[in-house]
Amino acid sequence: MNQIICLDETTANKIAAGEVVERPASVVKEMVENALDAGATSIDVEIREGGKDYLRIVDNGQGIPEAEVPIAFERHATSKIRRAEDLFQVLSLGFRGEALPSIAAVSELEMITKTFDAPVGTLIAFSGGKKMRLEKVGAPVGTTVTVRRLFFNTPARLKFLNQAASERRYVFDILGRLALAHPMVQFRLVSDGEEIFVTPGDGNMEAVMWSIYGSRIGSNLLPVEREANYITIRGLVCKPDVHRGNRQAETFIVNGRVVESSLMASAVEKGYQSLLPRRRFPIAVISLTMEPSHLDVNVHPAKREIRFSDSSEVYKQVMLAVRNTLESRLSFKAWSLDSSQKATPMATKEAVKQPRLRFPYESKSGKIDSYQKIRPTLPFASRPKTGLANDEVATARIGYTPEQQGTCGEVMMVSEASLSMDTNTDPIGDMQYRVLGQFQRTYVLAEAEEELWLIDQHVAHERILYERLQKQLQAKRIEAQALLVPLHLELGITSTSAVLEWGPKLAELGFEVTEFGPKDCLVRTVPTDLSGISEKELGELLLEIIAKGQTNDYRETTLIIMSCKGAVKAGEWLSLPVMEQLVTDLMATKNPFTCPHGRPVVVRLNLRDIHRRFGRI
Amino acid sequence: MQFTSTQGEMLRCLNMVEKAVATRDVQEILTGIYLECGDGKLTLRATDSEISMEAYTTVETTSPGSMVLKAKYFVPLIRRLPSGEVTFKQLKEQQMLEITAGNGSFRLQTMVGEDFPSLPMGNVLPLLEMPCHVLAKMIRQTAYATREDQGHSVFAGVLMEYKADELRLVATDTNRLCFNRQTIPGGEDFNFILPARTCIELQRILPTDSESTVKLTLVGNQVLFRQNDVILVSRLLEGQYPDYSRVMPASTETEIVVECRELTSALERANLMHKQSSASVTLDIEEGILILRTRDVELGESEESLSVKQNGPTMRSAFQARFLLDMLKTVSTDKVRIGLSSGMNPGTIRPLDSDDYVYVIMPVMTPR
């Protein structure tokens, strides 16, 4: 058995580093928080290769007095608290005294610092936790921390770092959030020599949003303000017509600290009520201020999480703050469907009885041999023959008696679930069908032998497009339309870098995306099926592909999304020939019954069931 | 109000303004047509707040006045009246209009005329006067390339630009671009983006004879076209139109001259071999022969060759067939000049002997 020993300091620091320092972005977060605690009004961050090789944080804060410099690199050395009781009164961002030694343990770190009253500055340098230099240097007031070769002595961690583009994205993300939490401080981020953003530092949160997300989001923000009990809420939410496929653009701040809070996220989303499409998320920044005694910040080593003493109160107030903003600034009518306007029930219309002419039928037996004779203008849309069945057999079976003809129209009014509405998935085979019309501009009605079909026009079309795209992709024939004027997408920093990171995969799907400044990108080709797409739709589509493609096969995901975007929508009027084409194409698909999302396409009502409903049998 | 006109004249005027009637019932009054008579003149007006149209005619006025009539009922009624004289008389107490024609008399509910919005006229002098048939042709040769866009981006409209006695119309949906220019002397410079829908309505009111002219005026953010006794006012699209001259290639690597009708019908046949409207056709040019090829993984394939006049090296390029057809259908000459370049460079199509109508089209990138 191994002996129990006390770990040496370097090892202990390496272990601690694992908790606090996961990636370059965490170094940025810790150092920027230190700078903020030091009262900096301007913070410059520069990274190279996503911060893996080099990152530097320059602040104009108060600096560290020469004598205290070496102590700052001892574990649990902090100027921010003095005893455990202080934890519940913490207003500063850091307090654990772990950041500096942890980072120094796993990188080559150099710090230059000078206080306003010191004649010269101090330089201290570490490599893998070992002090290399400590000397006097000339320096401006403030602190500059340079971190090189992060994780050079912990290969396991180094291996888990993502490619530079991803790490860069994490840095953009965290620095953007910190800038939002501190609008009074000017933040500047430079990556590989290019200025990514610079915030004005004039206390205006909206200006920070502009800097980070660009004008499309920046110009659609609504201010959130609420004071209730002990909580003060400030923030910005985006109008509901701009939204995202994930929670990436939600920022939560508690007492100036950027936190992750599923509680606040769900409160904000609740505040939007049904204004956002399903599975879409708002763009919001919400900042709470309250007495420190109402929360516990010492839950997570990196202080990412926070515990509220009364979480239901926080939830309620945040939700109300968001809802009040949206309600007061926007007319809710645009979204809430007034059910009385939606459908005019037949019953409310003035009933005027229309006597009908009764046509004498030629055949006394009441049998008519085929539909073509009754309605010569509406020919059968027929599926291409593959089996044995011939026309005569098929049509002869559908003939029904004249007195039943009148029921045809009224069937559409039946909506109760008591009919057998199961989506029958028996093979349709060579059934003859005929399109009757459209119901509520959403469903195509067709009759086929002894069945009435209700076909959801959107999902039917989606199925057709999906199989078509799938075949093209298998045949490697996704064609891309080059664009004369590239589409300019303003997606904000994190989304833009995500899109660019996905560049090669998107190119395979027909989207050629190039960088256009840190917040924007240009799309130079789109798949030919999407040649009429607008910037807004395209931006949403790309982000959706990336968001969903993380977990699933991105090709499959793209096919599903593209077929959904390209399909006719519910509520669109379709002409009879178009509906016939739609049903013909649907019948030719491999799986006409479910859409790529798994929803049913066709609901089949059996004549027997309909008869039973009318008391005929 | 009371006046007398004829069924034919009333219907002609109604047909002019009817398209501007609001279809959605946002403001009820806008679903109506405004009538105003006085001094032997009848004014008809309709607006959906995007487009407004006004028509004038002379009538025999008994007493002046104004009112608004629901277009949905008024227009079909006039359409079905027997030809000949029609008398319109307002029944004050009942807010009704009595229409008498032949042996029939009809009473229709009216709305109050004072509530109807008026046209932004002002005393602005027209910026340009031009022959109607010229403008109509220019619109026909550009408007089809606009983008169907609910977002109201600049691509949903046609750029109209007048500088140094030259009128230029430009439209693009970012896949292709139409450029059209004509020398029309005597105007003042202007530059605006006309919504695609306005273009269609404008084309409809422009007579085809070679004499008529139309005058154009800008009033605030609206444009006003006046043609004889019809006025069309439209809102303009806001935004910055991209610099189109930068996407128009100065030259292309290979140029061919081809019979327009032959090419059109060959493309139409090729396009049948496709299930998708967005399908592409490959153009191969070698030694004076143009070969069109299409392939659809589900349906089949096609190949057809045409002899052309070739100037430049062998070339291969692919385009969406519908984009080529859109343009070829608007050309009035027998032959067209097609310029092609390799890679992602745009191709051009123009009538044989003219640079006044240029179509710039981006290729489709097909995987190897």
Mean pLDDT check: name the lowest of A301-310, A549-558, B93-102: A549-558
Of the pLDDT bands very low, low, confident and very high (cuts 50, 70, 90), residue A247 is: confident
Q: Report ipTM for this prediction.
A: 0.72
**And the tokens for A491?**
């997606």
One-letter amino acid of B69: L
Q: What is the mean pLDDT of residues A321-342?
A: 54
Cross-chain residue pair B364–A482, CB shorter than 8 Å? yes
**A565: helix, strand or coil:** helix
Residue B259: CA atoms inside 13 Å, Cβ hemisphere, count?
Answer: 8
Are B297 and A534 inside 8 Å of each other by CB?
Answer: no
pLDDT at A356: 52
Residue A343 has pLDDT above 80, yes or no: no
Q: Supply the pLDDT for residue A508.
A: 81
3 state SS for A314-375: HHHHHHHHHHHHHHHHCCHHHCCCCHHHHCCCHHHCCCCCCCCCCCCCCCCCCCCCCHHHHC
The confidence score (pLDDT) of residue A336 equals: 30
Q: How far apart are CA B346 and CA B248, in angstroms?
A: 8
Which among B10, B70, B80 has a CA at the least distance from the CA of B46?
Answer: B70
CATH class held by domain A9-202: alpha beta
**Which string of DSSP letters, residue by residue, matches A361-426?**
PS-TT---S-HHHH-TTSPPB-PPP-SS--HHHHHHHH---HHHHTHHHHHTT---TTS------S
Answer with the residue of higher pLDDT: B104 or A277: B104
Residues 128-167 of B with CB under 8 A from A: 147-151, 153, 155
State the burial class of residue A277 (Cβ atoms within 10 Å of its Cβ: 0-12, 13-18, 19+): exposed
Nearest CB to B365 within list A472, A476, A480: A480
Give exposure, B184-193, as e/b (b: 16+ Cβ within 10 Å). Answer: beebeebebb
- Test A484 with B247 for CB contact under 8 angstroms: yes
The pLDDT value given to residue B286: 92
Looking at the domain covering B128-245, what would its CATH class be? alpha beta
Say yes or no: domain A369-617 is CATH 3.30.1540.20: yes
- What is the reported pLDDT for B162? 95
pLDDT of residue B82: 92
Mutate to test the interface with B, among A344, A470, A481 (most CBs of B within 10 A): A481
pLDDT bucket at A90, cuts 50 / 70 / 90? low
Q: Which of residues 327-386 of A touch B (CB under 8 A)?
A: none
List the one residue out of A59, A78, A73 whose CA is nearest residue A124: A73
Structure confidence at residue B190 (pLDDT): 93
Provide the angle, in degrees to the nearest 10, between the axes of the packed helices A164-181 and A493-501.
170
Cα B176 versus chain centre, distance: 18
Q: Establish if A484 touches chain B: CB-CB under 8 angstroms.
A: yes
Query: Hey, what are A56's tokens?
Result: 């530097």
On whether the CB atoms of residues A102 and A17 are closer than 8 A, the answer is: yes
B127 touching chain A per CB within 8 A: no
Residue A370's pLDDT band, with cuts at 50, 70 and 90, is: very low
Q: Is B344 on the interface with A (CB under 8 A)?
A: yes
- Kindly list the domain boundaries of chain B, sorted by start residue: 2-115, 128-245, 249-361
Contacts of A525 in chain B (CB under 8 A): 344, 365
Looking at residue A340, its pLDDT comes to 35
Q: Which CATH architecture has domain B249-361?
A: Roll (3.10)
Residues of chain A contacting B153 with CB distance shorter than 8 Å: 534-535
| Chain A residues with CB-CB distance to B280 below 8 A | 479, 528
Phi first, then psi: give them for residue A256, nearest 5 degrees.
80, 0
Chain A residues with CB under 8 Å of B360 CB are 484
Encoded tokens for B253: 């690597």
If pLDDT is split at 50, 70 and 90, which confidence band does A102 have? confident
Give the number of residues written for chain B.
Answer: 368
What does the pLDDT profile of chain B (368 residues) look like in tens digits? 899 999 999 999 999 999 899 877 667 888 999 999 988 899 999 998 889 999 999 999 999 999 999 999 999 999 999 999 999 999 877 788 999 998 999 999 898 888 888 887 766 788 999 999 999 999 999 999 998 766 678 898 999 999 999 999 999 988 999 999 999 998 899 999 999 989 999 998 999 888 999 999 998 889 999 998 899 999 999 888 989 988 899 899 999 999 999 999 999 998 887 766 777 899 999 999 999 998 877 778 899 999 999 999 999 999 999 999 999 999 989 999 999 998 889 999 999 988 999 999 999 987 65
Interchain proximity A528–B147, CB inside 8 Å: no
Where in chain A are the domains? 9-202, 214-337, 369-617
Alpha carbons B263 and B246: distance in angstroms, whole number:
28
What average pLDDT score do residues A163-167 get?
85
pLDDT of residue A575: 82
Distance CA A464, CA A594 (A): 11
The answer on pLDDT for A372 being more than 50 is no
In this predicted structure, what is the pLDDT of residue B33?
94
Phi/psi at B168 (5° precision): -125, 135
Q: Residue A536: its chain B contacts at CB < 8 A? A: 151
Nearest to A383 by CA among A557, A149, A587: A587
| Mean pLDDT, rounded, of chain A | 76
Residue B279 in contact with partner chain A when CB distance is under 8 A: yes
* Residue, of B329 and A533, whose pLDDT is higher: B329
Mean pLDDT, range A572-580, rounded to an integer: 83
Is A525 part of the contact surface with chain B (CB cutoff 8 Å)?
yes
* Sign of the dihedral defined by the CA atoms of residues A582, A584, A588, A591, in that order: positive
Model pLDDT for residues B269-289, shown as the tens digit of each residue: 988 877 667 778 999 999 999
Q: What is the mean pLDDT of residues A475-497?
A: 84
Give residue B216's pLDDT.
93
pLDDT at A484 over 90: no
CATH annotation of A214-337:
3.30.230.10
Residues of chain B positioned with their CB less than 8 A from the CB of A480: 364-365
A263: left (phi over 0), alpha (psi -120 to 50) or beta: alpha
pLDDT in tens, B308-352: 999 999 999 999 999 999 999 999 899 999 999 988 899 999 999
Reference B330, options B131, B182, B136; nearest CA is B136
- The shortest C-alpha distance from B20 to chain A (Å) reads 21
Kindly indicate whether the domain formed by B2-115 is annotated with CATH number 3.10.150.10.
yes
List of E strands, B10-131: 32-38, 41-47, 51-58, 60-63, 65-70, 85-91, 96-101, 104-112, 128-131
A531 close contact with B: CB closer than 8 A? yes
In the DSSP assignment, the letter for residue A281 is: B
